[in-house]
Amino acid sequence: MTHQEYYIQAVKRFNGFLESKRLRKTPERFAILRQVWQMKAHFGIDELHAALENVGYHVSRATAYNTVDLLVECGVLRRHTFVSGEAQYEAAREGHLHLICTRCGAITEVSTPPPMAHMLDDDLYGSFRPAYLLAYVYGLCGECAAKPEPQVRPKK
């Protein structure tokens, strides 16, 4: 599916989700969802809020936080905690995993290798229905691996 097709699906899903929770379908909530699809792969809430301001859409920080929580709960947005403590978000799309450099924090996405894709097979966990898998592989990116270890100065 393309990014746009995922977006159309996300709008439908969010609609149904809000209805099932008897929550109001405010224009703000859908504007935030639209903006999520314009963001780079991984972003923080502050970046999302700033991007909304940039396109002239004013929502309170509380609304941004609250809507992002709903989008995560609804399953169209994924929440990550990579190296720093601040949560990063990304629009739900094809399965992929994240290679995270523990030295410089660089994040590279690769598509989920087949054995991992099978971890979502329906018959694996009894009555539990798996929906998605978040995977992180920690190590050193090519650039950092090529550099010598940073020297720790002995304390005098």
Interface with Zn ion, residue 120, by CB under 5 A: no
Q: Is 39 in the site for Zn ion (CB under 5 A)?
A: no
Closer of 23 and 104 to Zn ion (Cβ): 104
> Do the Cβ atoms of 54 and 31 come closer than 8 Å?
no
Range 88-107, binding Zn ion (CB under 5 A): 90, 101, 103-104, 106
Radius of gyration of the chain (CA): 19
Question: Over the range 3-35, which residues count as b (16 or more CB within 10 Å of their CB) and which as e?
Answer: eeebbeebeebbeebbeeeeeeeeebbebbbeb
Is residue 144 a contact point for Zn ion (CB under 5 A)?
yes
The answer to whether residue 141 forms part of the interface with Zn ion (CB under 5 A) is yes
CB of 92 to Zn ion, least distance (A): 10
Residues at the contact surface with Zn ion, assessed by CB under 5 A: 90, 101, 103-104, 106, 109, 141, 144
